[in-house]
Amino acid sequence: MKKRLPGIVILLLILTVGLGGWYINLQRIKERSSLSGFFQSTPANVSSRIGGRISRILANEGDAVHQGQPLILLDASPQAQQTLALQAQAKQAEAAYLETLHGPRRQDIAAQAAAVKAAQANLELILAGPRHEDIAQARAKLRQANALYQMDINGPRPQQIEQAKAAAKQAQEALKQVLRGPTQEERAEATARYRAAAAQAQLAQQDMHRYLELYQQDAISRQQYDQSVATYQTAQENAIQMQEAMTRTQKGSTKEQIAQAQAAYENAKAALDLIMAGTRPEQIWADKAASEQAREALIELEHGSRPQQIAEATAQLQQQRALLAKLQAGSRHEEIAQSRALEVAANAQARSSEIALREQIVRAPTNGVVDNIPVAIGDLVQSGTSLLRLDTPQDIWLKVYVPERDLALVNVGNTAELRVDGIHGRIEALVESIASQGEFTPANLQTPEDRGKQVFAVKLRLAKPNLDIKPGLYATVLKIGKLTP
């Protein structure tokens, strides 16, 4: 018996080692064939419909933000001005539509009716031909034009030259007198004239007081008293004028008087030089052209109205009548519809610009965490440029690959149990979608046994939000539908 014991022990040791190896290998195979993957989320690239210069950044990377929270402010002055322009165009289109809808005003119709009457009168005048008064007036204009032209050819007369010389000499003497100033005799005369006028005014005042007493005593009539008052007022005004003249004489010539006399002399000298130079060729040609034009006008009147004039006047009358008929008929339905369409389009453009202008405040589209801000204050960005990347922890999902042989055990809506690295307990998830096409050997799940086999991607989403689960955490599927990997 003692000799058999070592053999039994050895046999038991061999069996124990073999069973242990078999169990360990089974666990390894089971681990290699399990479904696993890592959690992912789709970030939101936040941008704006309009471009502009970044004026403020209201969030930092890592901040948790809520839906609608302002994140970035843009300076969009050009967009604001464009919005104002479109709003003004919308108001203009609305006014045009109302004008078309209400039709022409009574004032417009009355004005057009007057234009029709004027065109009718013009046609009747042309049909009747020129009047004798018009012909006589045209002949008088022709005579006047011929006289001017003949005068240009003959040049200035001796009398005109003498008159111009006399006027220039008189203006020169007046200028010298102003420059010289008043003499002692002129000052004495001015003083004497003032004293005489003052004495006359004093005498008239005394007479007025005497006449007043007589009028109060009924010794004279009211007319005689009024005459004395008028005489006094005239004498008083004359005395004031003489006093002002005396003052001006005592002070001498002012700058204004010298400038006025200088200008008068220069004008007279220029007129004399012009006469002495004779008529310019340009003036001769102009007066000749005026004479020929007056002759043509007279010939046209003497021949009467031409057929072309009658036709033009008739066409003008018809045009004015057509415009009047259009105003009286009012706006057509097609015109109203077109104007209404233009108003709707203008208002739509204005509203669209207003909505776009609100994009100068870039807001968070959903709750999330700021992952990256690739812009800085002062950057000039175009519309659609990514200004901020936002992670959404609530929108987290897991993708695993189920072998083709097990796909029938998994359906959309099935419950799955997960084990997440670093989190205690099992996490429940739901099958959200199953790929319709298979794939071969995805790199993150392959084992030597599964290589070359076809698998299908299955997307899992957490049954309940769990803020402890972050993108990048690995998870192993413990059960999915009827499949227990």
* pLDDT of 31: 45
* pLDDT of 452: 45
Task: Report DSSP letters for 133-168, one per residue.
Answer: HHHHHHHHHHHHHHHHHHHHHH---HHHHHHHHHHH
At residue 18 the predicted structure's pLDDT band, cuts being 50, 70 and 90, is low
Least confident interval from 109-118, 151-160, 217-226, 389-398: 151-160
* pLDDT of 118: 93
204 within 8 A of 183, measured Cβ to Cβ: no
* pLDDT of 261: 81
The yes-or-no verdict on residue 72 having pLDDT over 80 is: yes
pTM over 0.75: no
Give the domain 395-480 fold: Elongation Factor Tu (Ef-tu); domain 3 (2.40.30)
User: Sheet containing 70-75: which strands, arranged edge to edge?
Assistant: 361-363, 70-75, 52-57, 380-381
Least confident interval from 94-108, 193-207, 335-349, 431-445: 431-445
272 within 8 A of 170, measured Cβ to Cβ: no
Q: Where are the alpha helices (DSSP H) in 304-456?
A: 307-329, 333-357
Q: What tens digit of pLDDT does each residue of 410-463 get?
A: 999 999 999 998 888 899 999 999 988 888 755 544 444 544 468 889 999 998
At residue 29 the predicted structure's pLDDT band, cuts being 50, 70 and 90, is very low
At residue 350 the predicted structure's pLDDT band, cuts being 50, 70 and 90, is very high
The yes-or-no verdict on residue 1 having pLDDT over 60 is: no
Burial level of 124, CB count in 10 A (0-12/13-18/19+)?
exposed
Percent of the chain predicted with pLDDT > 90: 26
* pLDDT of 20: 59
CA distances from 477 to 22, 34, 155, 181, 426 (A): 24, 7, 123, 125, 10
Structural domain spans, the chain: 106-129+308-330, 395-480
199 within 8 A of 242, measured Cβ to Cβ: no
